[in-house]
Amino acid sequence: MEYEVVVGLEVHAELSTKTKIYCSCKNSFGSEVNSNCCPVCTGMPGTLPTLNEKVVEYAVRMGHALNCSINRICKQDRKNYFYPDLPKAYQISQFDIPLCEHGYLDVILDEQGNTKRIGVTRIHIEEDAGKLIHEDRFSGSLVDLNRCGVPLIEIVSEPDMRSSAEAKAYLDTIRSILQYLDISDCKMQEGSIRCDVNVSVHPKGSDKFGTRCEMKNVNSFSAAVRAIDYEANRQIELLEAGGTVQQETRRWDDMRGQSYVMRSKEDAQDYRYFPEPDLLTIVLEEEYVKQLKNSIPELPNAKIKRYMTDYALPHFDANLLAENLDKAELFEEAVHIGGCQPKNLSNWILGDISRILNEKNIQLQDTKLTAQKLTDMVKLIEKGTISNTSGKTVIEVIMFEDKSPEKVVKEKNLAQISDTSALDAIVQEVLANNPKPIEDYKKGKTNVLGFLVGQCMKASKGQGNPAILKELIERFIQEA
Ligand SMILES: [Zn+2]
C-alpha cells in the first residue's frame, strides 16, 4: 500500500534580547555554570517576575512575518511539571491565548520558485529551563541554571507538510526569517533553535490522519530530516505488519539513527495550566502593533523571487544568497555599484568567498572585503585584465588586507598575458606533452579543448588569457 506522511513542527527559538524574560540577568551563552542567575530566574519563593517588553516586541514581529493575527490582549499561564532543571516546578508559557495565531508561511519547494503554503497555528512566548549536566566523573547529574529564564518563542505549525524535504524547507525559511528580523542568533550548536517533530502516516487517498508520534528536542535541521524519515518508515512497517501506532513521545537518537519510546503522550490537563497570577495581562496598543508590522524588512522568499526576476539569477544562487543576510547585502551593494554582471558577483560570493569563510570558520564581517573591492575585482576579470584564476589569488588578499584589487594585481604581477608571442611557447610545450588529447580532438572530441586550455593556464601560472590560448591551440592543431 502507498502511504502519505504528515509532518507538523514546533520550533523553539531563543530570542536574542539583552536580558532574560522575567529578570535583569544577562541573556548570554557560555558563562560559568550557575553564575548568570538570580532569585527570580531560579524560582526562589517570594520573588516576582517582570515581563521584558522586548520579548513581546520580538514575538509580535515574528508573528507579522508569518502573517499571524496578533492578540492585543493576552495572558501568560503556568505550565506545571516537575523537572530538576526547572526549580520552581512550573514554566511560564501561554496556554489558550497565544500572542500570535492563525498565520502561514509560503515555502519555496523547487527550482522554479513554486511555493507551498504551510499553516502556522500559533506563536507564543515562554521561558527556557536550565540544563542538566551528565558527566562520568560524578555520580548522578549536576544542574546549570544559567539558561533558566532565557526568552523563547514557540512556533507551532499545522500538520501541512508531506515529506521531510518540505519540513526542511519550512525550517530553513523560519531560520532565515529569524535572522532577517535579527531576533535570534540561530546558533544551532548552542541550542538556540530546537524543534519537536510530529509524524503520522496514513494510506494515500484517505483523508483521515494516522496516530501521531512526537520526537522532542531535535537539535539540528538535518537531524529533523533523519528523524522524520526514520519515524515514517517505522510507522509504515508497523502498519504493514498488522500493528497499530501508539500515540507517544519518542526520543530521537541521532547518533544511532533510531527513535525510542520516552512516554505515552501526556494530555494538556496533565500540566494543570492556569493563568500566571504574578504577571499582568499583556495589552498592546493598536498603533504599536501596526508600527511593528511596518518594521518588517523584505523577507527571504520575496528576496529570492526578486533576485530571480531582476538579476536573472538561477534559483540555486538566489536561495543561497538570501539564506545569509550578510552575503545578500554584499551582493546587493555590489550590484548597486554596478559595472559588472550580477551572475559573476554571485559566483564569487557563493564560490571562493564562501569557501574561504568556511575554511577559516569566520563571517563576512570578520573580513576586510567590501562591495567596492569585489566589484573592482570582477570588473578586472570581465575586462580581461586578469584571468579568473588570478582572481582567486586576488580575493585571498583583498579579503584580509587593506589593498585594492588593482594594487594586488600590480604587486603580484598578475596582469593577464594577452600577447600571443609570449603565449606561443607555452601552447607549443603543452601540445607537445599531450599527444593523446590532440588525437582525440582531431577525431572530433572537441571537449578536450577545455583540458588543454587548463594545462596552458597552469603553465602560465594563471596569467594566460584563456580566450587567446584557446585560439592559439586551435590554430596550432590545425596547422600541425
Ligand atoms: Zn535572573
9 pLDDT tier (thresholds 50, 70, 90): very high
Name the strand (E) or helix (H) holding 342.
Answer: helix 342-348
The 8 Å CB, 24+ separation contacts for 136-142 are 141/84, 142/33
The CA 153 to ligand 1 mean position distance, Å, reads 18
Per-residue pLDDT tens digits for 412-445: 888 878 777 788 888 988 988 988 888 888 888 8
The CA 272 to ligand 1 mean position distance, Å, reads 25
Considering the chain, what is the average pLDDT of its residues? 93
Could you tell me the residue ranges of all domains in the chain? Answer: 3-292, 300-411, 420-479
Per-residue pLDDT tens digits for 221-258: 999 999 999 999 999 999 999 999 999 999 999 999 99
The residue-averaged pLDDT of 98-108 equals 97
Q: What is the distance between the alpha carbons of residues 54 and 269, in angstroms, rounded to a whole number?
A: 30
Which three three-digit cell numbers place residue 21?
A: 524574560
Largest alpha-carbon pair distance within the chain? 95
DSSP 8-state secondary structure symbol assigned to residue 189: G
pLDDT of residue 269: 60
Q: What is the distance between the alpha carbons of residues 438 and 448, in angstroms, rounded to a whole number?
A: 8
pLDDT of residue 294: 97
Q: What is the distance between the alpha carbons of residues 28 and 239, in angstroms, rounded to a whole number?
A: 46
Q: What is the distance between the alpha carbons of residues 227 and 222, in angstroms, rounded to a whole number?
A: 9
Domain 420-479 fold: Arc Repressor Mutant, subunit A (1.10.10)
pLDDT of residue 113: 82
pLDDT of residue 291: 97
Task: Specify the residue for cell string 562520568.
Answer: 136
The CA 440 to ligand 1 mean position distance, Å, reads 74
DSSP 8-state secondary structure symbol assigned to residue 126: E
The CA 46 to ligand 1 mean position distance, Å, reads 14
Distances (CA, A) of 311 to 70, 231, 340, 373, 420: 36, 41, 12, 20, 36
The CA 148 to ligand 1 mean position distance, Å, reads 8
The CA 26 to ligand 1 mean position distance, Å, reads 8
Q: What is the distance between the alpha carbons of residues 68 and 52, in angstroms, rounded to a whole number?
A: 22
The CA 38 to ligand 1 mean position distance, Å, reads 4
The CA 270 to ligand 1 mean position distance, Å, reads 27
> Inter-axis angle of helices 315-323 and 300-310, to 10 degrees?
140
The CA 171 to ligand 1 mean position distance, Å, reads 30
pLDDT of residue 389: 87
Q: Residue 348: CB partners within 8 Å, gap ≥ 6? A: 374, 377, 378, 391, 395
Percent of the chain with pLDDT over 90: 73
Q: Residue 423: CB partners within 8 Å, gap ≥ 6? A: 417, 456, 460, 464, 465, 468, 469, 472
Task: Specify the residue for cell string 522568499.
Answer: 301
265 pLDDT tier (thresholds 50, 70, 90): low
Please, is 112 exposed, middle or buried when counting C-beta atoms within 10 Å of its C-beta (0-12, 13-18, 19+)?
A: exposed
Per-residue pLDDT tens digits for 18-77: 999 999 999 999 899 999 999 999 999 999 999 999 999 999 999 999 999 999 999 999
Q: Residue 204: CB partners within 8 Å, gap ≥ 6? A: 1, 2, 3, 4
SS3 52: coil
Q: Where are the alpha helices (DSSP H) in 35-163?
A: 53-65
The yes-or-no verdict on residue 447 having pLDDT over 90 is: no
Question: Which of 100, 104, 96, 91 shows the shortest CA–CA distance to 151?
Answer: 91
Residue 472: strand pairing partners = none
Kindly calculate the radius of gyration of the chain based on its CA atoms and give it in whole angstroms.
Answer: 29
Asked if 126 and 74 touch (Cβ cutoff 8 Å), the reply is: no
The CA 23 to ligand 1 mean position distance, Å, reads 5
Per-residue pLDDT tens digits for 73-87: 999 999 998 888 999
268 pLDDT tier (thresholds 50, 70, 90): low
pLDDT of residue 384: 85
The residue-averaged pLDDT of 460-468 equals 85
Q: What is the distance between the alpha carbons of residues 450 and 442, in angstroms, rounded to a whole number?
A: 14
The CA 152 to ligand 1 mean position distance, Å, reads 15
Q: Which residues surround ligand 1, an ion (CB under 5 A)?
A: 23, 25, 38, 40-41
Question: Which of 125, 119, 92, 88 shows the shortest CA–CA distance to 104?
Answer: 119
Half-sphere exposure of 63 toward its Cβ, with a 13 Å CA cutoff? Answer: 26
Per-residue pLDDT tens digits for 369-420: 999 999 999 999 999 888 888 899 999 999 999 999 999 999 988 887 877 7
The 8 Å CB, 24+ separation contacts for 363-366 are 363/326, 364/326, 364/327, 364/330, 365/326
Global pTM?
0.81
The CA 51 to ligand 1 mean position distance, Å, reads 12
pLDDT of residue 267: 60
pLDDT of residue 387: 87
Task: Specify the residue for cell string 567596492.
Answer: 372
